[in-house]
Amino acid sequence: MRFTDDLVRRLCAAILARWKAKGLIHPKASDAALLSMMTAEIQKDIQREAELDRDAEALLQKHLGKIEASQANSRILFQKIKERLAKERDVVL
Protein backbone atom coordinates (compact mmCIF):
# COMPACT_ATOMS: atom_id res chain seq x y z
CA MET A 1 0.00 0.00 0.00
CA ARG A 2 1.36 3.39 -0.97
CA PHE A 3 1.03 5.99 1.77
CA THR A 4 0.44 9.47 0.40
CA ASP A 5 1.68 12.52 2.30
CA ASP A 6 -1.93 13.46 3.03
CA LEU A 7 -2.74 10.03 4.45
CA VAL A 8 0.35 10.03 6.67
CA ARG A 9 -0.53 13.51 7.94
CA ARG A 10 -4.14 12.48 8.70
CA LEU A 11 -2.97 9.34 10.52
CA CYS A 12 -0.52 11.36 12.59
CA ALA A 13 -3.24 13.92 13.40
CA ALA A 14 -5.56 11.14 14.56
CA ILE A 15 -2.84 9.58 16.70
CA LEU A 16 -1.92 12.92 18.25
CA ALA A 17 -5.56 13.74 19.00
CA ARG A 18 -6.09 10.33 20.61
CA TRP A 19 -2.93 10.63 22.73
CA LYS A 20 -3.98 14.07 23.94
CA ALA A 21 -7.58 12.99 24.63
CA LYS A 22 -6.38 10.07 26.74
CA GLY A 23 -3.90 12.26 28.59
CA LEU A 24 -0.96 10.19 27.43
CA ILE A 25 0.98 13.30 26.42
CA HIS A 26 1.05 16.92 27.51
CA PRO A 27 2.84 18.63 24.63
CA LYS A 28 4.79 21.83 25.08
CA ALA A 29 4.99 22.43 21.33
CA SER A 30 2.12 23.35 19.04
CA ASP A 31 0.07 20.68 17.31
CA ALA A 32 1.38 21.87 13.94
CA ALA A 33 5.00 21.43 15.06
CA LEU A 34 4.29 17.99 16.49
CA LEU A 35 2.44 16.90 13.36
CA SER A 36 5.32 18.09 11.24
CA MET A 37 7.84 16.08 13.27
CA MET A 38 5.64 12.98 13.39
CA THR A 39 4.98 13.12 9.64
CA ALA A 40 8.67 13.55 8.88
CA GLU A 41 9.62 10.52 10.98
CA ILE A 42 6.97 8.32 9.38
CA GLN A 43 8.06 9.46 5.90
CA LYS A 44 11.68 8.63 6.76
CA ASP A 45 10.60 5.18 7.91
CA ILE A 46 8.65 4.63 4.68
CA GLN A 47 11.74 5.66 2.71
CA ARG A 48 13.94 3.25 4.69
CA GLU A 49 11.57 0.40 3.95
CA ALA A 50 11.46 1.32 0.25
CA GLU A 51 15.26 1.28 0.22
CA LEU A 52 15.21 -2.17 1.85
CA ASP A 53 12.80 -3.35 -0.84
CA ARG A 54 15.11 -2.08 -3.60
CA ASP A 55 18.17 -3.67 -2.03
CA ALA A 56 16.40 -6.97 -1.41
CA GLU A 57 15.12 -7.00 -4.99
CA ALA A 58 18.64 -6.26 -6.29
CA LEU A 59 20.08 -9.17 -4.30
CA LEU A 60 17.32 -11.42 -5.54
CA GLN A 61 17.97 -10.43 -9.15
CA LYS A 62 21.70 -10.96 -8.68
CA HIS A 63 21.12 -14.56 -7.66
CA LEU A 64 18.12 -15.26 -9.89
CA GLY A 65 19.89 -18.01 -11.82
CA LYS A 66 20.66 -19.97 -8.68
CA ILE A 67 17.14 -19.43 -7.38
CA GLU A 68 15.49 -20.69 -10.55
CA ALA A 69 17.76 -23.73 -10.61
CA SER A 70 16.81 -24.65 -7.06
CA GLN A 71 13.08 -24.04 -7.67
CA ALA A 72 12.88 -21.85 -4.56
CA ASN A 73 9.98 -19.46 -4.10
CA SER A 74 11.28 -16.00 -4.99
CA ARG A 75 8.61 -14.17 -2.92
CA ILE A 76 9.63 -16.06 0.23
CA LEU A 77 13.30 -15.44 -0.50
CA PHE A 78 12.61 -11.73 -1.07
CA GLN A 79 10.91 -11.49 2.35
CA LYS A 80 13.77 -13.34 4.07
CA ILE A 81 16.36 -11.09 2.40
CA LYS A 82 14.39 -8.01 3.43
CA GLU A 83 14.10 -9.22 7.03
CA ARG A 84 17.84 -9.90 7.17
CA LEU A 85 18.71 -6.47 5.73
CA ALA A 86 16.32 -4.82 8.18
CA LYS A 87 17.96 -6.61 11.10
CA GLU A 88 21.45 -5.62 9.90
CA ARG A 89 20.38 -1.98 9.52
CA ASP A 90 18.29 -1.83 12.72
CA VAL A 91 15.09 -1.06 10.82
CA VAL A 92 11.84 -2.21 12.38
CA LEU A 93 9.40 -3.61 9.85
Task: Give the pLDDT score at 40.
Answer: 96
Helix (H) / strand (E) element for 75: namely helix 74-88
Per the structure, the complete domain to which residue 58 belongs is given by: 5-88
Q: Would 10 be classed as within a structural domain?
A: yes
DSSP codes joined into one string, 27-80: -SS-HHHHHHHHHHHHHHHHHHHHHHHHHHHHHHHHTHHHHHHHT--HHHHHHH
Residue 69 is predicted with a pLDDT of 66
Task: Specify if 11 maps to a domain.
Answer: yes
pLDDT recorded at residue 71: 65
Q: How many residues does the chain have?
A: 93
Q: Is residue 59 one of the residues assigned to a domain?
A: yes
Total-model pTM: 0.70
The reported pLDDT for the residue numbered 1 is 61
Domain count, the chain: 1
In this structure, is residue 50 part of a structural domain? yes
Question: pLDDT truncated to tens, each residue of the chain (93 aa)?
Answer: 678 899 999 999 999 999 999 999 999 999 999 999 999 999 999 999 999 999 998 988 887 777 666 666 777 888 888 898 888 888 887
In a domain, 24, yes or no: yes
User: Is 54 part of a structural domain of the chain?
Assistant: yes
CA distances from 59 to 6, 32, 89 (A): 32, 41, 16
pLDDT at 65: 72
Are 19 and 25 within 8 A, CB to CB?
Answer: yes
Q: Which helix (H) or strand (E) holds 93?
A: none
Confirm whether 93 is domain-assigned: no
